[in-house]
């Protein structure tokens, strides 16, 4: 995960899982102070988040890597894990 100019990127391949869950934010994490795209509330230390990768955006080089089945930088949005719909089996653990 990388923050570039306010946008969040993850490196994935086009056929990879698009939702990455389960990371708790630690002190100093770059997402602290930014807001969840689902509920609009800020992220705080200890919040468990989900990153949902959208795709390569309009960057031609990243689009070419993506369509060749190679790793590319994909724009992602951060959500609280609960806002992304934490799987029931994880809640019941
Ligand atoms: Zn949220």
Length of the chain: 93
- Asked if 84 contacts 50 with a C-beta cutoff of 8 angstroms, the reply is yes
> So where are the chain's domains?
2-91
* Chain segment 63-89, per-residue pLDDT in tens: 999 999 999 999 999 999 999 987 777
Residues bordering ligand 1, an ion, CB closer than 5 Å:
36, 38-39, 80, 83
Q: The whole model's pTM is what?
A: 0.79
- Asked if 43 contacts 1 with a C-beta cutoff of 8 angstroms, the reply is no
Summary count for the chain: helices (H), strands (E): 2, 5
| Mean per-residue pLDDT of the chain | 89
Cα 68 to ligand 1 centre (Å): 34
In angstroms, rounded to a whole number, what is the distance separating the alpha carbons of residues 44 and 62?
Answer: 31
Cα 9 to ligand 1 centre (Å): 19
In the predicted structure, residue 28 carries a pLDDT above the cut 90: yes
């Amino acid at each position: 995960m990388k923050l570039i100019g306010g946008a969040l990127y993850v490196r994935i391949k086009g056929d990879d899982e698009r939702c990455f869950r389960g990371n708790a934010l630690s002190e100093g994490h770059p997402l602290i102070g930014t807001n969840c795209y689902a509920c609009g509330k800020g992220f705080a230390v200890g919040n468990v988040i989900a990153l949902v990768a959208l795709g390569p955006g309009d960057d031609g080089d990243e689009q070419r890597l993506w369509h060749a089945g190679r790793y590319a930088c994909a724009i992602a949005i951060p959500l609280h894990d609960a806002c992304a719909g934490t799987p029931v089996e994880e809640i019941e653990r």
